[in-house]
Amino acid sequence: MSVPETLARARAPRALEAAKPVAAPAEAEPNVEAGGLMARISRLWERDPVPDAAAVEPLLNARLTDVAANKLARLWCAGYTAADGKRRRAMLGALAQAAEACRERSEPCTRMFKRFNALPDGLRFLVDLRADMLRWRKQVAGLQPLDKELEELLSAWFDVGLLELRRLTWDSPASLLEKLIIYEAVHEIRSWDDLRHRVAGDRRCYAYFHPQMPDVPLIFVEVAFSAQMADDVQALLDTQAPAPDLDKARWAIFYSISNTQAGLRGISFGNFLLKRVIERLLEEQPRLKSFATLSPMPGLRDWLSKLSAQEVEQIVREGKNRVRAGAPDGARWAERLARSATGKPSEALRRAGLRLAAHYVQAMKNGQPVDPVARFHLGNGARAERLNWAADVSAKGLQQSCGMMVNYLYELDKLDDNLSRLGQGKPSASRAIARLA
């Protein structure tokens, strides 16, 4: 596959990945005497697969061994896979109505999902189905409780003990390497050389796989090695930079972590991924001493832009209440910091930007860090270790975080203590960051 073809496919709508077809093998018509109603519904679905709630009820009520109900499940899944968005919403609406009737009778709805899971490619279908549920749960009445039941099942079916950790290299199948391009959510892979660089022998790329979805990485992490904690992502991504001397490397830097399946939102295995990766790295590179990220702050600029001039002044002027005449509000500060990241700012401006970032990284709402990346790493027991000025001056880096990035430090013997602090509403941060905030 050529580079242009690969990149074109990466940017094209991924309809195939969004909803894998569910096989519908031929099967003898169920005995009409034993299941005449289901047989008639089956023929109706074959003509127009938009069943109402009454037609869907056998999927929830019939035994898992019921042949007729299982054929209806195959027809429903095949019809859903082939449907457009409008029809899918209607089909989900019927499921939600039928599920509500079951709950009124104090019956669980899990039997239907187990029936789907037993189909060929059923687990993949359910992951894609939940992605649609999350997309439309505020538009389709009764969908949220149904989504919750599916989430609980998927949490069990994707238990970390069932997942396989694999290293991806340049010798991995081309179909898997292409998925790295498609799913990379932090730093876009821009060329074939870029991809080769990220899976080179002096780097590591690991991914979790489920045995029922062996060709789909569920989450992957990209790792670089360094003599010190990294502070510039462009340097890490530079394909022309000399390869590091692994004998002198003491730091492993996690510079990109990407979840690939929207349908697995809320099912966290990132913590287990990083712990297992660290264990694997120590086996391969026993001289490593420290493990850290070089992470974006994707919500920083949006958060800053909503602050008033008084709120900004209280942060950058260390709590002083008096607002200077004509002091800029957060939106003007965001523009100024982004421009300065590619220039030569004064030390006062640089320190003000870092102070704002330190305040943001430790900001909490409803018991959780405000920033989604901070929520992930602090929720995994890491510590916010260092803020880095002009660490990502790409268009995305300037747009999201005014060019700044943060290192989160993973110390295996302190993860539980850090989690305990977070539970008390006190996210763990180094003294340098705490002083800035």
**Distance of alpha carbon 160 from alpha carbon 209, whole angstroms:** 10
Does 80 fall in a domain?
A: yes
The one catalytic residue among 42, 256, 295, 401: 295
Please tell me whether residues 212 and 129 are part of one structural domain: no
Domain identity same for 303 and 423: yes
Pair 202, 218 in one domain: yes
Structural domain span for residue 259: 161-295
Distances (CA, A) of 142 to 64, 93, 211, 216, 306: 24, 8, 32, 30, 34
- Give a yes or no: residue 415 inside a domain: yes
* Number of domains composing the chain: 3
Last residue within a domain, chosen from 158, 179, 197: 158
Asked if 377 is an active-site residue, the reply is yes
Indicate if 128 and 176 belong to the same structural domain.
no
Residues 364 and 378 in one domain: yes
Given 246, 278, 295, the domain boundary residue is 295
Percent of the chain with pLDDT over 70: 87
pLDDT at 383 over 70: yes
Residues 264-287: tens digit of each pLDDT? 998 888 778 888 999 999 999 999
pLDDT over threshold 60, residue 1: no
∠ CA 265-266-272, rounded to 5°: 100
Identify the CATH number of the domain in which residue 126 sits: 1.20.140.90
Average pLDDT, the chain: 87
Tell me the mean pLDDT in the region 157-167: 93
The active-site residue out of 187, 197, 210, 377 is 377
- For residues 136 and 184, state if they share a domain: no
Q: Are residues 261 and 214 in the same domain?
A: yes
**In the prediction, which pLDDT does 21 show?**
32
Q: Is 295 a catalytic residue?
A: yes
CATH number of the domain at 389, please: 3.40.630.150
What is the pLDDT at residue 61?
A: 86
Same-domain status, 282 and 341? no
Pick from 109, 126, 158: which residue ends a domain? 158
The model's confidence at residue 320, banded by pLDDT at 50, 70 and 90, is low
Residue at 55 is within a domain: yes
Rounded to an integer, the average pLDDT of 178-204 is 94
Kindly state the percentage of the chain with pLDDT values over 90: 73
What lies within 8 Å, CB to CB, of 141 at 6+ separation is 93, 96, 97
Q: Are residues 103 and 191 in the same domain?
A: no
Residue 222 and residue 165 share a domain: yes
Q: Are 268 and 183 part of one and the same domain?
A: yes
> For residues 103 and 109, is the Cβ–Cβ distance under 8 A?
yes
Task: Confirm whether 19 is domain-assigned.
Answer: no
Q: Is position 17 within any domain?
A: no
pLDDT band at 18 (very low <50, low <70, confident <90, very high): very low
CA of 182: how far to CAs of 14, 174, 202, 285, 310, in Å? 9, 12, 23, 29, 43
Higher pLDDT, 386 or 108: 386
